[in-house]
Amino acid sequence: MTPNIPRTMGQQFGRRSWAEPWKIKMVEPLAETTPDQRARALEEAGYNTFLLKSEDVYIDLLTDSGTGAMSDRQWAGMMLGDEAYAGSKNFYRLEAAIQRHYGYRHILPTHQGRGAEHLISRCAIKPGQLVPGNMYFTTTRLHQELAGGRFVDVICDEAHDTSSLAPFKGNIDLGKLEALIRTEGAEKVAYVSLAGTVNMAGGQPVSMANVKAVSELCGKHGVKLYLDATRMAENAFFIQEREPGYADVPIAQILREFCDYTDGAWMSGKKDNLVNIGGWLAVNDWDLYEELRNQIVIYEGLHTYGGLAGRDMEAMAIGIEECVQDDYMRSRVGQVQYLGELLTDWNVPIVKPVGGHAVFLDAKAFYPHIPQSEFPAQVLAAELYLDSGIRAMERGVVSAGRNPATGDHYYPRLELTRLTIPRRVYTQAHMDVVAESVKMVFERATETRGLRMTYEPKYLRFFQAKFARL
């Protein structure tokens, strides 16, 4: 591979270089594979990177979910697990960490984010109600639909434009939200579902001014505002970096201020909170909490463990403290931006500005000759794996699924392949290798053919669908 990448990247991009605020104490060897081995593995996996074996993968950028490295403090915390069925001391540590940094009153642990999404959707949506939100997320929308709700996208238009450089492309369009509430009536709206940052838009943040305005609008109409807090600490970093008045405010304080505008949140601890498994649900309203606490014993476990071991709750409590540190977050997002800057420098089409957890490749721009019905983003993920053993993920028509009413594919405007960076796992040298591989795949894009789907599961098909070359 081309070894001519300068080592002082920061200076090349007009800023000082950063370095990770940690050093490596334990290593896990990576296996490299041959092109023949990769071709065979991909064929067996039906051209779906979710079906590859991890031992056949070199650099794994499938997801940042549960793939982070825990700190020595977190591992030490695992030894402090109090595995009592009820009232484990680790629950109270977790509860205190969430109350301190996210600010909500009533806390329920869940086995992961979708456990929390399931419960809030069950308890806060009545069949036939609408759930407006800033772009859908796969599991979030599915749980809203399974509860009888209908998701309505009220994100700003810039979110759908991969070339727009707007700083807060995750913002809700207040006009769209107000029009929906006025035409449908506030009682038809279950709640507003706000996510920071917006995964499907490329990890784009929401501004403090926007959440404040949405909160005021919701308050005026008596509609609740719930937050998907999965990557809200990363969102806080962007507010610090981009929003006037926040440059000197610590991330922990920005996070807390943002959450204070909302009535509750669900969380995948596997992202911001730096654990391999876990999630939580938090609300301020006592009556809703009572209902959730009643339901959680059916689906997750008792309300003081919610499907988690005591040691997992301890690790998450410590992860919460660590993820709001400014130096950690600067290196976390800095690494993603480093990869984005390399690719931009080489004119590879990506979603801009680069988001907090991933670089999203614009598959439509890679493959203008492949129609969306032939899954260009799935093709791109397959090509990257063939080139170098790097595993990425499709975020396009396959992830979007089908409209339950008509049975047609949803055709999202964004057809993206996601290079998701795990937290505290890979080095800058790994990012160089990734960037070179993407460049190679881009250079041969015109020769690449599309895929057809040979197997389609009923729900969240991107996880298990299979494909063949056309």
Ligand X SMILES: *Cc1c(COP(=O)(O)O)cnc(C)c1O
Q: How far apart are CA 395 and CA 389, in angstroms?
A: 19
Q: Looking at 40, 85, 345, 454, which residue is catalytic? A: 85
Q: Looking at 258, 385, 462, 467, which residue is catalytic? A: 462
Choose between 137 and 442: whose C-beta lies nearer to ligand X: 137
Query: Is residue 271 annotated as a catalytic residue, yes or no?
Result: yes
Shortest Cβ distance from residue 224 to ligand X (Å)?
A: 18
Secondary structure of residue 416 in the 3-state scheme: strand
Cα atoms in the Cβ-side hemisphere of radius 13 Å centred on 343: 31
Q: How far apart are CA 293 and CA 115, in angstroms?
A: 13
Q: How far apart are CA 51 and CA 302, in angstroms?
A: 33
Q: How far apart are CA 114 and CA 393, in angstroms?
A: 19
Tokens of 218: 């919701």
Choose between 300 and 383: whose C-beta lies nearer to ligand X: 300
Shortest Cβ distance from residue 17 to ligand X (Å)?
A: 29
- The Cα angle at residue 114 between residues 111 and 120, in degrees rounded to 5: 105
Q: Looking at 93, 231, 270, 271, which residue is catalytic? A: 271
Q: Looking at 270, 395, 439, 461, which residue is catalytic? A: 395
Choose between 101 and 114: whose C-beta lies nearer to ligand X: 114
Secondary structure of residue 170 in the 3-state scheme: coil
Q: Do residues 365 and 349 touch, judged by C-beta distance below 8 A? A: yes
Residue 153's beta-bridge partner residues?
133
Choose between 191 and 467: whose C-beta lies nearer to ligand X: 191
* C-alpha separations of 26 from 78, 123, 424 in Å: 17, 44, 12
Shortest Cβ distance from residue 407 to ligand X (Å)?
A: 25
Choose between 166 and 460: whose C-beta lies nearer to ligand X: 460
Choose between 271 and 439: whose C-beta lies nearer to ligand X: 271
Shortest Cβ distance from residue 185 to ligand X (Å)?
A: 28
Cis peptide before 197 (omega within 30 of 0): yes
Residues that bind ligand X (CB under 6 A): 65, 112-114, 137, 139-140, 195, 199, 228, 230, 268, 270-271, 279
Cα 383 versus chain centre, distance: 23
Q: Looking at 49, 63, 110, 138, which residue is catalytic? A: 138
Q: Looking at 104, 137, 261, 360, which residue is catalytic? A: 137
Query: Is residue 85 annotated as a catalytic residue, yes or no?
Result: yes
Query: Is residue 110 annotated as a catalytic residue, yes or no?
Result: no
Shortest Cβ distance from residue 229 to ligand X (Å)?
A: 9
Shortest Cβ distance from residue 355 to ligand X (Å)?
A: 12
Query: Is residue 462 annotated as a catalytic residue, yes or no?
Result: yes
Q: Position 360: which residue type? A: F
- What are the catalytic residues? 85, 137-138, 228, 271, 395, 462
